[in-house]
Structure 1
Amino acid sequence: MDRLFLAIGCVSAVVAVVLGAFGAHGLRARLVPDMLSTFEIGVRYQMYHALALLAVGILLPRSPSPALAVAGWLFVAGTVVFSGSLYVLAVTGQRWLGAVTPLGGAAFIAGWLVLAWAVSTRP
């Protein structure tokens, strides 16, 4: 499972860089500043949590724990729901997606709490 989280983290980081470049060069002239900022927040949080996934992938073989895996999957879910909803909201203007975004944020928060618990209780 550690390699899976490392791979997902790497791919997620690549996608964040690509989307960041797309936002800076392809969307800047097409989106109002508010929506461009929304898109950039999605990119930023995706990159933060790509790095968190790399940390989970590095920690898992050293200290195998179901809690570490749970934290990793929460980071994945948070990225898909939080960042994904912000990307779609920014590009389409579908405001109802703003109601979905906090669910991804809750997954991020839960992931960090589970990760903190996992590393503080390891032998």
Structure 2
Amino acid sequence: MNAKIMLQLAAIFGALAVIFGAFGAHALEALLVKTGRLDTYETAVNYHFYYSLALLMVGILYQQNPTMTGLKLSAWFFLGGIIVFSGSLYLLCLSQVTWLGAITPLGGISFILGWAWIFVSFRKGNQ
């Protein structure tokens, strides 16, 4: 993945976060309130948006520092985290299949690994 693709994915996933947030606030609000999943859906949208911004940041950093290949791993982990963490919560809210909640922490681990790879990328001697 190169910087251009990272930035394009950040734009796509950021737009999707806004769309999913609006969809949840309007079209799905009654269902989410009825099922008690409004907070869960809001958490999914919040993390989706936070990590779209984190992916944008990594893309900018990688564009400025293309030799820091650890940033590529960070981008992949953030992307995977959005899909697994937020995706599993979206599906949980819409399907009420509760075992999907067991998958969500894997997305959280992916987010943590993304941050770890940013740290590794900026270690002394790795610039």
Question: TM class, shorter-chain normalised?
Answer: over 0.9
Shift of 1:115: 1.1
Deviation of the 1:74 alpha carbon: 0.2
Q: Which runs of 5+ in 2 are unaligned?
A: none
Partner residue in 2 for 1:93? 96
Deviation at 1:27, TM superposition (A): 1.1
Task: Give CA deviations for 1:63-102 in whole Å, capped at 9, x if unaligned.
Answer: 1211000000000000000000000001111000011000
Count of residue correspondences:
123
Instruction: Output the CA distance in 2 between the equivalents of 1:119 and 1:55.
Output: 14
Give the aligned partner of residue 10 of structure 2.
9
- One of 115, 119, 123 as aligned partner of 1:116: 119
Offset of residue 117 of structure 1: 2.1
Q: Deviations over 1:32-62 (max 9, x none)?
A: 3631111111110010010011111111121
Structure 1 gaps, min length 5: none
> How far apart, CA to CA, are the structure 2 residues paired with 1:44 and 1:113?
21
**Distance (whole Å) between structure 2 residues aligned to residue 53 and residue 12 of structure 1:** 9
Once superposed, what is the RMSD of the aligned Cα atoms?
Answer: 1.2
38-47 vs 24-33, greater mean Cα deviation = 24-33
Amino acid at match of 1:56: V
2-structure distance, mates of 1:49, 1:119? 19
SS in 1 for 2:122: helix
Q: Indicate the percent of aligned positions where both proteins have the same amino acid.
A: 43
Q: In structure 1, how many angstroms separate the alpha carbons of the residues matched to 2:122 and 2:44?
A: 27
Q: Does 1:76 align with 2:79?
A: yes
Output the CA distance in 2 between the equivalents of 1:85 and 1:48: 16
TM-score norm. by structure 1 comes to 0.94
Q: Distance in 1 between matches of 2:43 and 2:85?
A: 10
Q: Which moved more, 1:88-97 or 1:31-40?
A: 31-40
Q: CA–CA distance in 1 between the matches of 2:14 and 2:64?
A: 23
Asked whether 1:102 is paired with 2:105, we answer yes
